[in-house]
Amino acid sequence: MRKVWDIHGGIHPLENKDQSNQLPIEFAGIPEQLVFPLSQHIGAPAVAIVGVGQKVLKGEMIAEAKGLVSVAVHASTSGEVIAIQDNPVPHPSTMSAPCITLKSDGKDQWIEHQGINNYLNLDRTELVNHIRNAGIAGMGGAGFPSAVKLSVRGEQTVETLIINGTECEPYITSDDCLMRERADEIIAGIEILRYLINPMKETLIGIEDNKPEAIAALNRAAEGTAINVVSFPTKYPSGGEKQLIQILTGKEVPAGGLPGDVGIVCQNIGTTVAIYRAIAHGEPLISRITTVTGNACDHNTNYEVLLGTPVSYLLDHSGFHQKKCSRLIMGGPMMGFTLENSNVPIVKTSNCILAPTVDELPPPTPAQACIRCGMCAEVCPASLLPQQLYWFSRGKEYEKLEDHNLMDCIECGACSYACPSNIPLVQYYRASKADIREQKQDAIKAEQSKMRFEARQERLDRQEAEKEAKRKARKLAAEERARDNNNPDPIQAAIDRAKAKKASVKSEKPAAENATESLDRARLKEVLANVEKRLVTAKEKLKQAEQQGSDNVEAFRTAVEKTNSKYLKTKQELITFNAVNPALSDSSSMPAEKKILTGDAAQDAIAKALAKRDAASSMTDEERLQNAVSAVTKRLQKAQQKLAEEQRQEGEHIDLLTNAVAKLDLKLADADAAYQQFQNNNHD
Amino acid sequence: MTELIAQYPFFAALLALLVLGIPFGGLLGFAAVKFKTEGNPIADQVESLLPQTQCGQCSYPGCRPYAEAIANGEAINKCPPGGESTIQALADLLDVEAVPLDAEHGEENVKTVAYIREDECIGCTKCIQACPVDAILGAAKQMHTVIVSECTGCDLCVEPCPVDCIDMLPIETTLQSWRWNLPKPVEILATDRTTDKEVAA
């Protein structure tokens, strides 16, 4: 006898299995209409590959798997597809979901199919593909795609393969009957699994000791193989995957981990049969064993049911009394869910239809206050603290719920069963689990939204910066163009001017050749005039530049200074020359300004200013100050006149003019003060 | 030494405190410079609690600005998409009283996603420019469509649409997204007193 371990907690509800396991498995028959939900498993729903009106044969694929974690759906009898639409499906939500409806033709005609004679010659991946195409999902209850579980995983080696024949929930006997009647198929299926998984250590079938016939049958069938049939004391919920692993191996699957983490793979008894039929006979998963039981049915037994058969069809076969039934349950009394509608179909995970009377399974009494008895903690198979979880759940303290390992709850219902106050504890846990999952998803989505928002903001900023740079470049280019239009090519202009000058000098030359002296003087005069001309132009340019606020103001200013110094130097030279040759000196050596007076107003003004400066330099300080006062007075008078005129006409510039007058007033006061001070100083 | 201390206990104590105070003060000053936290850590924490819909219903241009405002003392009840749970989380974080949602900024509604009626879309790109998370796909004079998985349901695309072809649709529950709800807490008190009903009868 092999050693088995115990799990924490657990309960011993009435088994109620004898009602349904007395008779052999019956074939339920072919209903007129079958409904195939596209989602009968965990993962992405399958995608329909048939059209309405299409004739299909038994075993033909009608919906294919979408993605890796998904399972195909096959027609369970021959007939015609009459609808692909939303229908009520067996689910605690009582919602509708996409389904394919098939009208059977009664012929039950198989599609051509063929088993694999010797699967040992086949590659493992190919074999897994066969299982995938056969549409096999775990038949214990969760419906996890079997092919995914069996896929070759990287480095992980499997020590132990466990086949779950526990069937710990009350009332359900489908696995029990399957083990009694089809032990050989089960063992053959396990051999296929052993070939696929290659467990290094052992292969175990775990069965509770309340099924002696099943144990005996399997022991007989397993003789001569490496498969061990292990029985252990009956207790709910030893059939939970993690619980069974602990019972059989003493190993605990870590919180949030998978059996693979401790080198174990678990499969359900029903799944082994389905795999056997898929490999040995080439038959996809189109039927399963379902228990129909409860006192509201006269005939309690196990049926071999075609998938898609309506629950009502099965109930009709079993002498169901609607009036006696308190509620219809799919699954067992502990973990099953109420069916609101008996027209939902049997799916791959439907192991039991329970139709209890009111006496048998009375409606839940109202919950009373928690008396903190601690019974729930005593029975919890996952060693959690259900009472604490209950309080946190009611207070929505999700962090604390997670700290107390709510996610390790297997929702077995033992705590609710034990609760003397009838608190629906599992419901609280289910709701809180959903809340926590939702919160996590929201957090992920928020993070994603934030990233997208920030990326967008960055992009907008970048685009704005680029636009700004372009705008600046355009503005600069426009300015450049404007300047070029005012002075078309300055270099060319300079060259032209130089040429013109040369030509003029050439033409004047003969006249100046009278005498060397006069020639020299003439040359000097000419140079002087030239320099003066240049000075005037330079000044003009400077003024222009200043007005336009050009960058070259500095350069122009230096040029003016240089030209000015040259002018002074030349003038000095001429004066020296005249001094040396006084006879020849004439009035022409006097400031040449008057001579070069032109019609140009600007040049006139400059010449005037120069004259004034010369005059000013010869004035005494007193005169200068007097002049300044009189000039400012004059300007003030003028400004006042203008202001008066503007006021009369109510022009726009009154403000400006008033301002100007005020400024001039100040200036006049300043000038007056300076003059007074000067006079005072002189008198002292 | 002991005698001196015994003689001038006050000065000895003062000296001892001074001797301790100077190095520790220096240490604290050094730590303040060396381990200075960049940015505003409270704003970061607040931001991580906000739903990041960037909807602007709080009257700030996005979740980050509102987080910064909260860090500077703004009310925590101006985020309708976050709802009560966000207010509760913020109250816990900032150790303030949780207050009900400010109705002025909107009500907590079911989650929605934008849906563009593609037949009516004229391809003006106005909604694309309004979407804070770039969840609308399309180009000028091409039909637009919403990337449902990225849409935060912020509503900002509805108003700019010149032909009103955008609907905010509640997210539908599927078999995959269905969830159990909390049972209604029924707490019965046992009593032997006659109830009002019985008296009336």
Token couple for A293 = 């039981």
- pLDDT one-digit tens code per residue, B98-116: 888 888 877 777 888 999 9
Is there a contact between A453 and B54 if contact means CB atoms under 8 Å apart? yes
Residues A504 and A458 in one domain: no
Burial class (CB in 10 A: 0-12, 13-18, 19+), A566: middle
Is there a contact between A446 and B51 if contact means CB atoms under 8 Å apart? yes
pLDDT of residue A482: 83
Burial class (CB in 10 A: 0-12, 13-18, 19+), B34: exposed
Residues A513 and A544 in one domain: yes
User: What is the average per-residue pLDDT within A241-247?
Assistant: 94
Is there a contact between A449 and B173 if contact means CB atoms under 8 Å apart? no
Number of cross-chain residue pairs from A and B with Cβ atoms under 8 Å apart: 80
For residue A614, being part of any structural domain is answered with no
- pLDDT one-digit tens code per residue, B20-50: 999 999 999 999 998 888 777 888 889 888 9
Rounded Cα–Cα distance for residues A381 and A379 (Å): 6
Could you say which of A485, A520, A544 is where a domain stops?
A: A485
If contacts are CB pairs under 8 Å, which of residues 28-47 in chain A contact chain B?
39
pLDDT of residue B109: 76
Is there a contact between B187 and A456 if contact means CB atoms under 8 Å apart? no
For residue A297, being part of any structural domain is answered with yes
> Complex ipTM, two decimals?
0.78
Residue of chain A with shortest Cα separation from B133: A453
Stated pTM of the model: 0.70
Residues A477 and A526 in one domain: no
Q: Do the beta carbons of residue A274 and residue A292 sit within 8 Å?
A: no
Rounded Cα–Cα distance for residues A639 and A403 (Å): 89
Number of domains into which chain A is organized = 4
- Residue A266 assigned as binding residue: no
Residues A426 and A541 in one domain: no
Q: Do the beta carbons of residue A276 and residue A188 sit within 8 Å?
A: yes
Using a CB-CB cut-off of 8 Å, the residues of chain A touching B133 are: 449, 452-453, 456
Which candidate from A95, A427, A449 shows the least CB-CB separation from B175? A95
Residues A118 and A195 in one domain: yes
Element of type H or E holding A158: none
Domain at B110-175, CATH from 3.40.50.880, 3.30.70.20, 3.40.50.720, 3.90.230.10: 3.30.70.20
Using a CB-CB cut-off of 8 Å, the residues of chain A touching B183 are: 367, 424, 427-428, 431
Please tell me the CATH code under which domain B50-105 is placed. 1.10.15
Residues A501 and A467 in one domain: no
- Residue B121 assigned as binding residue: yes
pLDDT of residue A620: 67
In sequence order, the β-bridge partners of residue A229 are: A205
Could you say which of A354, A388, A411 is where a domain stops?
A: A354
**Which range is least confidently modeled, A138-147, A157-166, B150-159?**
A138-147
Token couple for A377 = 């903690």
Residues A537 and A624 in one domain: no
For residue A450, being part of any structural domain is answered with yes
Domain interval for residue A503: 487-598
Residues A179 and A92 in one domain: yes
- pLDDT one-digit tens code per residue, A287-338: 999 999 999 999 999 999 999 999 999 999 999 999 989 899 999 999 999 9
A363 touches chain B (CB under 8 A): no
If contacts are CB pairs under 8 Å, which of residues 66-105 in chain B contact chain A?
85
- Total number of residues shown for chain B: 201
CATH no. for residue A327? 3.40.50.11540
Residues A329 and A448 in one domain: no
Q: How far is B144 from chain A (nearest CA, A)?
A: 18
pLDDT of residue A533: 84
B201 touches chain A (CB under 8 A): no
* pLDDT score of A360 more than 70: yes
- Residue B165 assigned as binding residue: no
Mutation for B interface: A449, A459, A460, A463, most B CBs within 10 A: A449
Residues A179 and A306 in one domain: yes
Confidence of residue A617 (pLDDT cuts 50, 70, 90): low
Residues A93 and A125 in one domain: yes
Which candidate from A427, A442, A448 shows the least CB-CB separation from B180? A427
Q: Do the beta carbons of residue A204 and residue A4 sit within 8 Å?
A: no
Rounded Cα–Cα distance for residues A427 and A423 (Å): 9
Q: How far is B195 from chain A (nearest CA, A)?
A: 18
Residues A505 and A567 in one domain: yes
